[in-house]
Amino acid sequence: MYRMPAEYQPHRATLMIWPVRPGSWGKDPSAAQAAFVRVFEAIARSENLYLLVDPAHWKQAKAATAHIRRVRLLPIESDDAWARDVGPTFVQNERGGIKGISWQFNAWGGTVDGLYADWQKDDAVAKLFCQAVGLPWEDAAPFVLEGGSIHTDGEGTVLVTESCLLSAGRNPSMTRAEIEAELCRRLGAEKVLWLPRGIYNDETNEHVDNVCAFVGPAEVVLAWTDREDDPQYPLSMADYAYLQSVTDAKGRPLTIHKLPIPDHPILCSEADCEAYSFEPGEDTREPGERLAASYVNFYFTNDAVLVPQFGGENADSDARACRILQQVCPGRRVIGLPARDILQGGGNIHCITQQIPL
Q: Indicate the domain borders of the chain.
A: 11-357
Question: What single DSSP character describes residue 278?
Answer: P
List CB contacts of 14: < 8 A, sequence separation 6 or more: 43, 47, 48, 49, 50, 299, 301, 353, 354, 355, 356
What are residue 48's phi and psi, to 5 degrees?
A: -75, 160
Which residue, among 82, 29, 94, 99, has the nearest Cα to 60 in the 3D structure? 29
pTM to 2 decimals?
0.97
- Helix extents (H) in the chain: 22-25, 30-43, 58-64, 83-86, 110-113, 120-133, 162-165, 176-187, 232-245, 270-275, 315-328, 340-343
Query: Low-confidence residues of the chain, pLDDT below 50?
Result: none
Looking at residue 332, its pLDDT comes to 96
Looking at residue 225, its pLDDT comes to 98
Looking at residue 232, its pLDDT comes to 98
Residues that are catalytic:
351
Rounded distance between C-alpha atoms, residue 307 and residue 334, angstroms: 7
Question: What single DSSP character describes residue 109?
Answer: T
Under a CB-based contact definition with an 8 Å cutoff, are residues 302 and 13 in contact?
A: no
Distance of CA 102 to the CA centre of its chain: 16
For residue 59, give the 3-state DSSP assignment: helix
Rounded distance between C-alpha atoms, residue 288 and residue 266, angstroms: 9
Which CATH number among 3.40.50.1980, 3.40.50.300, 3.40.50.150, 3.75.10.10 corresponds to the domain 11-357?
A: 3.75.10.10
Looking at residue 87, its pLDDT comes to 98
Which residue, among 2, 4, 7, 41, has the nearest Cα to 298 in the 3D structure? 7
